[in-house]
Chains A and B, each alone.
Chain A
Amino acid sequence: MSHDHSHEPVTTAAEPPAAARVRALTDLLVEKGVVERDEIRRRIDWLVSRTPAHGARLVARAWVDPSYKERALDDARLAALELGLDPGESPQVIALENTDEVHHMVVCTLCSCYPKALLGPPPDWYKSLPYRSRAVSDPRGVLREFGLVVDEDVEVRVVDSTADMRYIVIPRRPPGTEELDEDALAGIVTRDSMIGVAEAVPPS
């Protein structure tokens, strides 16, 4: 590999330590022939092409089609493929249904496992130590900080995705949405409602 080029970061700001570490690792892996830069670019492009709009389509279909919902609860990867959505490479995904009796919220206490193919890159708070530690010790307190008060008679289930499975929440369908078609329904499904820290937003 030639060294007639600079490895300095292309930035005007001070480079954060984590970015410097990633850059050093990338340079080494490329130099040793483990990965190619184009492969890294392809993966970054894929990741930033994923958005919560993909997961929202799955949720909207689940709201209008009970048999589809059952399939998503069993295997959301197959359910995503049914809609022509890209479910990503290896991790398996299942959907969790929020109801009047049960409220699911998702966390990864060990790192930041997240259904990126359906929701895009995770928000910073999802990766933060306070969310990861407190979600499993004081879930109702965490939800209150997100502005969501869960009734005492509703069971909160915190799902800690610690391994190869990924989870997407199907929020409750808000009242007053009976007349909305599937596309309009997808428009009221927010990212946070598919993580389980918010409800789907009723149309104003």
Chain B
Amino acid sequence: MTFAAGDDVVVSSREHTGHHRTPGYLKGRRGTALRAHDAFRNPETRAYGSDGLPKERLYLVSFALPGGDRVLADIFEHWLETAA
């Protein structure tokens, strides 16, 4: 597990063609890992007939909204980078 609860992370803003589960509005955004979920089959390969292995760790990540509210989203580990 690369990230622990409390770690500051950034969602990768790399280009990606094809099915993936990282919402566009969060790409490039800085957030905080809240919880490490299990590892799951990778939807990016599973969508095209593969077994989706190796599994990728999923994290619940918190992002700030204006006014003190927050968005919590599930982001796969290979879309997260350590915040500088």
Binding site for B on A (CB under 8 A): 92, 109-110, 136-137, 139-140, 155-165
Contact = CB atoms under 8 A, between A and B. Distances in A.
Nearest to A163: B74
Interface string B59-84: 01010010011111111100000000
A159 B72 CA distance: 5
A157 B37 contact: no
B65 to A, nearest CB: 7
Given A109-B23, A110-B21, A110-B23, A165 B37 contact: yes
Contact of B69 (A155, A161, A164): A155
Interface in B1-54: 21-23, 25, 37-38, 40, 43
Contacts, number: 60
How many residues of B sit at the interface, in one of the four size bands? Answer: 20 to 34
A157 B70 CA distance: 5
A136 B31 CA distance: 15
Contacts of B72: 157-160
A157 B32 CA distance: 14
Give the dominant DSSP class at A's interface: mixed
Given A109-B23, A162-B74, 15 more contacts: A109-B25, A110-B21, A110-B23, A136-B71, A137-B25, A155-B70, A156-B65, A158-B72, A160-B72, A162-B21, A162-B73, A164-B58, A164-B74, A165-B60, A165-B74
A165 B25 CA distance: 19
A158 B75 contact: no
A156 B40 CA distance: 28
Nearest to B34: A157
B21 A140 contact: no
**Which among A110, A140, A160 has the greatest number of chain B C-beta atoms within 10 A?**
A160
Contacts of A164: 37-38, 40, 58, 74
A139 B58 contact: no
